[in-house]
């Protein structure tokens, strides 16, 4: 198979942009039906002028950008919208750093992780292959987020344990600690760039488990509580984001192998074509 065909075949098997796109549509619809910001992940102050119209705008941008990720022509613009949108949510958390210096970091990193996932799409739809430094930055930043996720499980272990379904074997504290260690293992794999792709896939499945086991049952039993649906949406968005990090690393590896044999350099321009 020709090198270009291998790249295209690899791209067509990728799921990350589909997961993130569908998840952010779902997240935006939940925010829209809530008629407000999802306060756990979008801590916009009550005193903000035009707060409710801005909440509707935010929800609309989530839906539109999510839909944009599903189509090749709009993918790059949609990715940039999501980067800016989730960084705005990060800024909303950082605005509270003086009042809550120890409690904002989980929310910061949940939103930053999704922004990183969107950034991988923006990088790969560029006309030029992303610089090696940007690939490293993606690994490191998402790794830092995973460290925060893992530490949060231990710092708030009782709260995390309370979200674990009672029918699961083992105690809630066991699963809270186990998944916390899994987050830290993902971070170690990304920092070391060893088994990083399998780590992102396992992390994605873990986020799917959070969505299915922790958020979905409550959303079904309390369908009018849209914050639960928003929690389901952000969990799936984080799944899409970590999957996209793995897609980026996989594309790097596909590009590096033939490039080494023809002397084109480690990337060989293979990360530039648009994702199918």
pLDDT confidence of 257, banded at 50, 70, 90? low
Burial environment of residue 150 by CB neighbours within 10 A (0 to 12, 13 to 18, 19 or more): buried
**Per-residue pLDDT at 202:** 96
Please tell me the number of Cα atoms within 13 Å of 69 on its side-chain side. Answer: 33
Mean pLDDT comparison of 106-115, 157-166, 258-267, highest-scoring range: 106-115
State how far the Cα of 245 lies from the Cα of 119, in Å rounded to an integer.
Answer: 9
pLDDT bucket at 130, cuts 50 / 70 / 90:
confident
Q: Residue 97: how many CB atoms within 10 A of its CB?
A: 13
Digit-coded pLDDT (tens) for 50-90: 999 999 999 999 999 999 999 999 999 999 999 999 999 99
Q: How far is CA 166 from CA 130, 158, 214, in A?
A: 46, 14, 11
| 160: nearest Cα among 173, 171, 151, 147 | 173
pTM over 0.95: no
Contact 54, 44 (CB under 8 A): yes
User: How many whole angstroms separate alpha carbon 54 and alpha carbon 230?
Assistant: 17
* pLDDT band for position 267 (cuts 50, 70, 90): very low
CB neighbours (10 Å) of residue 178?
Answer: 12
Residue 102 burial by Cβ neighbours in a 10 Å radius (0-12, 13-18, 19+): exposed
> How far is Cα of residue 142 from the mean position of the Cα atoms in its chain?
9
What are 81's two structure tokens? 């919208």
Closest among 7, 42, 25 to 250, alpha carbons compared? 7
Task: Return the sign of the alpha-carbon dihedral for residues 22, 25, 29, 34.
Answer: positive
Q: Which residue's structure tokens are 């590009």?
A: 255
Stretch 117-134: mean pLDDT, rounded? 87
The fraction of the chain above a pLDDT of 70, given in percent, is 87
> How much of the chain, in percent, has pLDDT values that exceed 90?
69
Cβ–Cβ under 8 Å, residues 233 and 27: yes
Predicted local distance difference test score (pLDDT) of residue 13: 55
């Amino acid at each position: 198979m020709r090198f270009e065909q291998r790249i295209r075949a690899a791209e067509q098997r990728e799921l990350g942009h589909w997961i993130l796109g569908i998840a952010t549509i779902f997240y935006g619809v939940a925010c829209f039906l809530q008629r407000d910001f999802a306060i756990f992940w979008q801590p916009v102050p009550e005193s903000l002028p035009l707060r409710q119209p801005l909440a509707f705008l935010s929800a609309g941008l989530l839906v539109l950008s999510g839909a944009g990720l599903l189509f090749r022509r709009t993918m790059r613009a949609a990715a940039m919208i999501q980067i800016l949108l989730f960084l705005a949510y990060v800024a909303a958390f950082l605005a509270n750093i003086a009042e809550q210096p120890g409690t904002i970091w989980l929310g910061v990193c949940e939103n930053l992780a999704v922004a990183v996932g969107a950034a991988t799409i923006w990088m790969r739809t560029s006309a030029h292959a992303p610089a090696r430094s940007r690939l490293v930055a993606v690994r490191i930043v998402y790794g830092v987020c995973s460290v925060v996720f893992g530490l949060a499980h231990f710092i708030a272990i009782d709260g995390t344990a309370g979200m674990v379904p009672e029918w699961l074997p083992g105690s809630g504290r066991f699963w809270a600690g186990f998944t916390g260690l899994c987050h830290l293992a993902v971070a170690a794999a990304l920092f070391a760039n060893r088994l990083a792709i399998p780590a992102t896939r396992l992390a994605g499945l873990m986020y799917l488990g959070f969505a299915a086991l922790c958020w979905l049952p409550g959303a079904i039993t309390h369908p009018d509580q849209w914050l639960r649906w928003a929690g389901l949406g952000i969990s799936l968005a984080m799944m899409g984001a970590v999957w996209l990090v793995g897609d980026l690393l996989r594309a790097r590896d596909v590009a590096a192998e033939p490039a080494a044999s023809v002397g084109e350099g480690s990337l060989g321009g293979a990360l530039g074509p648009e994702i199918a």
